[in-house]
């Protein structure tokens, strides 16, 4: 009886897999999103809803992540980005933060197992954010994961940890200013002339001269351009997302990809993150295809703005 039941389950799983891939072939006749981003909201509410311990909700969320990654990669999506841990989450109780750090370390290790989806699809891992804020064991696991998967080039998974978009923008501006300052001090033979700078100054850099600290903002920062800032973004490892999906019905970005999500549609299903399924992804992609030409025209305008 058990053998017969196991055979039936295996048969239905195979049939489901076949039908899913057939569905993806049909969908692929239209435009397939290159990059999908997810805000994985609702793990704790799911645990409460199902009368589970809080940590069990995040474990269920990890299982949901593996399923949604498989669907995305089968469909042909190249980049997937997930919002795993916000800087604001560090404001929680120290014990809760510690438990989440340990769970994160365990799940990173699971991703690197030989039979994991990462190895099955040749996925390269990028962990982005203020990594210095993570616990030491997690930092070690993050470094190992990026090093071990660095040779993979078929798919990319970007995991945002200790991340907020405002922190990313501040970091990008700071790095851009450092680059410009370094360039100015390394090439002192060039003359930089700003007539009536701020209505008060005229600054000149003569050969072998060194700029005083007061000129840092007025000279170097004035030379920072949009392309410099975007190059120094944490998310420079991936193109802007085509779709942003946030579960639990919350139609807000919560400080996630504020810079990059200007032209992508937001889909907010009411399902909590552990409840996300194939139908939610399919609906989001069909909606993307419906407005594809309009979205592409917006991207072209954005690109022209960058050039000029």
Q: Please, which pLDDT band fits residue 17 given cuts at 50, 70 and 90? A: confident
* pLDDT at 188 (0 to 100): 53
pLDDT at 267 > cutoff 60? yes
Bigger pLDDT: 304 vs 151? 151
- The three-state DSSP-derived secondary structure of the chain is CHHHHHHHHHHHHHHHHHHHHHHHHHHCCCCCCCEEEEECCCHHHHHHHCCCCHHHHHHHHHHHHHHHHHHHHHHCCCEEEEEEEEHHHHHCCHHHHHHHHHHHHHHHHHHCCCCCHHHHCCEEEEEECCHHHCCHHHHHHHHHHHHHCCCCCCEEEEEEEEECHHHHHHHHHHHHHHHHHHHHHHCCCCCCCEEEECCCEEECCCCCCCCCCCHHHHHHHHHCCHHHHHHCCHHHHCCCCCEEEECCCCCCCCCCCCCCCCCCCEECCCCCHHHCCHHHHHHHHHHHHHCHHHHHHHHHHHHHHHHC
How does the average pLDDT of the chain come out, rounded?
Answer: 85
* pLDDT at 201 (0 to 100): 33
* pLDDT at 223 (0 to 100): 82
Is the Cβ–Cβ distance between 25 and 286 less than 8 Å? no
Bigger pLDDT: 142 vs 219? 142
12-16, 56-60, 132-136, 212-216: range with lowest mean pLDDT: 212-216
- Each residue's pLDDT tens digit, 42-65: 999 999 999 998 789 999 999 999
Bigger pLDDT: 195 vs 289? 289
Bigger pLDDT: 275 vs 296? 275
- Each residue's pLDDT tens digit, 3-12: 666 667 667 7
Tokens encoding 273: 């993150």
* pLDDT at 4 (0 to 100): 60
Of 41, 88, 195, 228, the catalytic one is 41
Identify whether 41 is a catalytic site residue. yes
pLDDT at 155 > cutoff 80? yes
Please give the Cα distance from 230 to 52 (Å, whole number).
42
* pLDDT at 180 (0 to 100): 85
| pTM (predicted TM-score) | 0.82
Q: Please, which pLDDT band fits residue 207 given cuts at 50, 70 and 90? A: very low
Q: Please, which pLDDT band fits residue 185 given cuts at 50, 70 and 90? A: confident
Q: What is the mean pLDDT of residues 19-32?
A: 92
* pLDDT at 304 (0 to 100): 54
Is the Cβ–Cβ distance between 13 and 30 less than 8 Å? no
């Amino acid at each position: 009886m058990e053998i017969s039941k196991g055979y039936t389950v295996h048969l239905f799983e195979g049939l489901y897999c076949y039908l899913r891939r057939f569905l993806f072939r049909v969908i692929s006749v239209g435009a397939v999103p290159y990059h999908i981003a997810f805000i994985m909201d609702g793990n704790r509410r799911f645990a409460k809803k199902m009368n589970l311990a809080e940590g069990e909700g995040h474990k269920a969320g990890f299982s949901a992540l593996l399923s949604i990654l498989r669907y995305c990669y089968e469909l042909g999506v190249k980049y997937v980005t997930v919002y795993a841990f916000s800087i604001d989450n560090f404001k929680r109780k120290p014990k809760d933060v510690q438990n989440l750090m340990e769970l994160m370390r365990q799940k990173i290790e699971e991703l690197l197992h030989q039979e994991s989806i990462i190895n099955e699809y040749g996925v390269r891992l990028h962990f982005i954010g203020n990594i210095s804020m993570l616990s030491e064991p997690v930092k070690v696991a993050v470094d190992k994961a990026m090093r071990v998967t660095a040779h993979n080039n078929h798919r990319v998974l970007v995991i945002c940890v200790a991340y907020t978009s405002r922190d990313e923008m501040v970091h990008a501006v700071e790095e851009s200013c450092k680059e410009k300052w370094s360039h100015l001090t390394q090439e002192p033979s060039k003359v930089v002339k700003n007539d009536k700078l701020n209505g008060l100054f005229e600054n000149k850099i003569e050969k072998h001269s060194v700029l005083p600290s007061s000129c840092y903002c007025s000279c170097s920062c004035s030379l920072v351009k949009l392309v410099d800032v975007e190059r120094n973004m944490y998310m420079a490892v991936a193109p802007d997302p085509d779709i942003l999906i946030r579960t639990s019905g919350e139609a807000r970005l919560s400080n996630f990809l504020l810079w990059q999500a200007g032209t992508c549609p937001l889909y907010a299903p009411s399902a909590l993150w552990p409840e996300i399924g194939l139908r939610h992804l399919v609906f989001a992609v069909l909606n993307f295809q419906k407005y594809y030409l309009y979205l592409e025209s917006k991207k072209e305008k954005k690109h022209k703005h960058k050039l000029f």
